[in-house]
Amino acid sequence: MISEADQHAIWHAAAEARDSRFDGVFFTCVTSTGIYCRCVCPARMPKRANRIFHRSAAAAEKAGFRPCLLCRPEKAPGAAPIDQKQRLAAQAVSRIEAGALEEQGLDDLARDLGVTGRHLRRVTVDVFGAAPIDIAQTHRLLTAKRLLTETQLSVTEIAFASGFQSVRRFNALFLERYGFPPSRIRRARIATQEPTLTLDLVARGQFDPASHFAFFASRAITGVEALGDGYARTLKIGAHAGFVSIRPGPRGVKLSMSHSLSPALRQLVAMVRGAFDLDADASAIDSLLGDDADLDVAGDPGVRLPGGLDPFEVAMRAVLGQQVTIGAARKLTQKIVDTFGSPIETGVAGLDRLFPDAAQIAAADPGMIAGLGMPFARAQTLQRLGAAVTEGKLLLARGAVAAGREGLMALPGIGPWTVEYVALRGLGDPDAFPAGDSAIRAALGMKIGVEQRAERWRPWRAYAAVRLWRKHGRTIAQKTASEKIGGEVR
């Protein structure tokens, strides 16, 4: 059990990072002003000596602190009824901004969140002063403004890429909200027929994408993925399929996509930002982990969480990777793709197959899956995984950590390691930690007590896990190099 002193040290680091993933987990009380704030408060950071913490707004007020008028602690997500409303509204907006209402209706989104459509409307109006459809329209308009400025897409293409169902509705709403037509801020150049649409995605703080590309390279599946000066792959988002290319950018990454994926642009941007962990404050996380020599923060600064674009694909790969090496899992995954994946024409050499979706795996015969070289029980787990997602019993989406964990644990054949791995690589949980992982144990030089050892790394245990995997990889590489004799490995 983590001590109160250690917990406060963790909260100091989280407060300095202003990481929204911990909004509502604790409140910062400033002794010099008598005010308490959320960890995301934009006000100037008080001195460490003037900061104390409480687990709830009620505890802070009982201790004599007043709520900050800038960050409004009453809006922080938490466990109280009013806080549950804030959390629900925030989850809804996150899903809406990722394009949830493009492929499903409001009632479907509400069902995913465990409430009725009527209740969800009421909550978003109470919290944000706008109904879900108004929130969606505002995000569509902001996306459209960016595309008008940064791309060569036509106004018609931008309307559909931003999520509008008709150009007429786009033009009318744009004029209504901004007082001028979209053509007014259209770049003064004629749109070309370039095969791709490119956007710059900016990272928070310093960012080195090399480790992400190395992660993808070690697991790349022929036909689906290709590595060159970056990472390219085929992808299907809803009814839209095509290819994407992600390369190093000046302050993050450059995302290029085929025009066939432009209608799913908002979903794709959210997927890439999550997979490359662009919104993490790596320097603040390093400051918490830096005192532990096992994590080698000084020698390997700025580590982020490499993840997958599609959480279902991450879950598939995790099941295929149970108790086998990365290389063995890669071979099994290749067989799954070759057998069940759909062909696709991209015009890009080496990208001609889609990773199978949940419906395809749900419809597969477990015996046929097992025939690819795995135990029948594991084949059944894969089929059940696909069925659970297809039937709506399992929600796999970035940010939906609690629902994803609960749904995964309900499936036979999926245990703690798989759940933690999927939470880390696919759901975006910064505190996920697969304590039973053999490489993590080897990196720490211990077989028992790993869970307790990791308590000091909260709330960023996932970053510690990645560091330990990297440490183990370097150890193996050094050992292999030292055993080479005459260019051969013993």
Q: What does the pLDDT look like over 397-450, one tens digit per residue?
A: 988 888 899 999 999 999 999 999 999 999 999 999 999 999 999 999 998 999
**What's the alpha-carbon Rg for the chain, to the nearest Å?**
24
Buried b (16+ CB within 10 A) or exposed e, 101-136: bbeeebeebbbbbebeeeebbebbeebbeeebeebb
Main-chain dihedrals φ then ψ at residue 58, nearest 5 degrees: -60, -40
> SS3 breakdown of the chain: % helix, strand, coil, rounded to 5?
50, 10, 35
Cis preceding-peptide flag for 375 (omega within 30 of 0):
no
**206: closest CA among 270, 140, 301, 346?**
301
Domain spans in the chain, listed from the N-terminal domain onward:
4-75, 81-130, 311-342+353-432
Instruction: Supply the pTM of this predicted model.
Output: 0.71
> CB count, 10 Å around CB of 474?
14
pLDDT at site 35: 95
Instruction: Specify whether the CB–CB gap between 162 and 141 falls below 8 A.
Output: yes
pLDDT at site 50: 95
**Same CATH fold assignment for domains 4-75 and 311-342+353-432:** no
Give me the residue label for tokens 């490119």: 198
pLDDT at site 192: 45
Handedness of CA 59, 62, 64, 65 (dihedral sign): positive
Q: Is 39 a residue of the active site?
A: no
What is the rounded distance in angstroms from the CA atom of residue 196 to the CA atom of residue 189?
Answer: 17
What is the rounded distance in angstroms from the CA atom of residue 405 to the CA atom of residue 210?
Answer: 30
What is the rounded distance in angstroms from the CA atom of residue 138 to the CA atom of residue 185?
Answer: 17
The residue annotated as part of the active site, out of 23, 112, 286, 437, is 437
Please give the structure tokens belonging to residue 16. 């300095």
For 263-302, strand residue ranges (E) read none
Q: Is 23 a residue of the active site?
A: no
Give me the residue label for tokens 């053999």: 438
pLDDT at site 87: 67
The residue annotated as part of the active site, out of 19, 29, 37, 41, is 37
Handedness of CA 282, 284, 285, 286 (dihedral sign): positive
pLDDT at site 28: 95
> Which CATH superfamily hosts domain 311-342+353-432?
Hypothetical protein; domain 2 (1.10.340.30)
Buried b (16+ CB within 10 A) or exposed e, 24-48: bbbbbbbeeeebbbbbbbeeeebee
pLDDT at site 481: 65
Handedness of CA 399, 441, 458, 290 (dihedral sign): negative
What is the rounded distance in angstroms from the CA atom of residue 345 to the CA atom of residue 195?
Answer: 13
4-75 is a CATH 3.40.10.10 domain:
yes
What is the rounded distance in angstroms from the CA atom of residue 247 to the CA atom of residue 225?
Answer: 14
pLDDT at site 259: 83
Q: What does the pLDDT look like over 69-110, one tens digit per residue?
A: 888 887 765 544 444 676 677 778 777 877 777 767 888 888
**242: closest CA among 309, 318, 334?**
309
What is the rounded distance in angstroms from the CA atom of residue 427 to the CA atom of residue 429?
Answer: 6
Q: What is the largest CA-CA distance in the chain?
A: 74
H-only helix segments in 18-105: 57-62, 81-97, 100-103
Q: Which residues of the chain have pLDDT under 50?
A: 79-83, 187-193, 485-490
Instruction: Specify whether the CB–CB gap between 252 and 207 falls below 8 A.
Output: yes
Strand order of the β-sheet with 231-237 is 196-202, 252-258, 240-248, 231-237, 225-227
What is the rounded distance in angstroms from the CA atom of residue 172 to the CA atom of residue 156?
Answer: 13
Buried b (16+ CB within 10 A) or exposed e, 406-441: ebbeebebbeebbbbbbbbbbbbbbbbbbbebebbb
Q: Are strands 35-37 and 66-67 parallel, antiparallel or unpaired?
A: parallel
pLDDT at site 128: 67
What is the rounded distance in angstroms from the CA atom of residue 452 to the CA atom of residue 105?
Answer: 44
pLDDT at site 189: 42
